[in-house]
Amino acid sequence: MGIKSLYKDNCNIHALHKDNTYKIRAHHGLCLFFFKGKGYSREFVKNMMDFKNKLDKDPFVCITSKADIICGKCPNYIKDSCKNEDKVAEYDRQVLLRCNLTDGDILPYHSFRNLIVHNIILSGKREEVCGNCQWTLLCHNISNGRQLL
């Protein structure tokens, strides 16, 4: 049981933790780290900010490679499906691999965030994970002008 994952649930949140455990798509850990109030629409930005504020309280998160609350307000998520699923699934796969996580792992959000910071951002691997994302220039500029820790 280490810091990596307290238990595995495949994101079928146990009743005990359902009110304070959130499902989060693996690559959204990167998106949230670099989020600065920009996005596809006001509705998307508000949703992202609300979710980020919840996560800042360090709840448990269930890491998934499926849609989460962020996807719900994305214009690319149409009829319960992402039109860029192949691309974002690879982002998820890369985050899981580099952070030594598996789909369904549950851990505190700050532990997940720290895994992303140390295994992807500080190690200079972000562009390998999601360098072809439409937001990559924004993330690049933020990482070059931001104190990471």
- Write the DSSP assignment of 117-139 as a string of letters: IIIIITTT-HHHHHTTSTTHHHH
**What is the domain partition of the chain in residue ranges?**
7-145
Sign of the CA dihedral running 129, 38, 68, 123: positive
> What's the predicted TM-score (pTM) here?
0.84
Confidence of residue 2 (pLDDT cuts 50, 70, 90): very low
Task: Provide the 3-class DSSP secondary structure of residue 66.
Answer: coil
pLDDT digits (tens, 9 = 90+) for 66-76: 999 999 888 88
Q: 145 Cβ partners below 8 Å, 6+ apart?
A: none
pLDDT digits (tens, 9 = 90+) for 107-125: 999 999 999 999 999 999 9
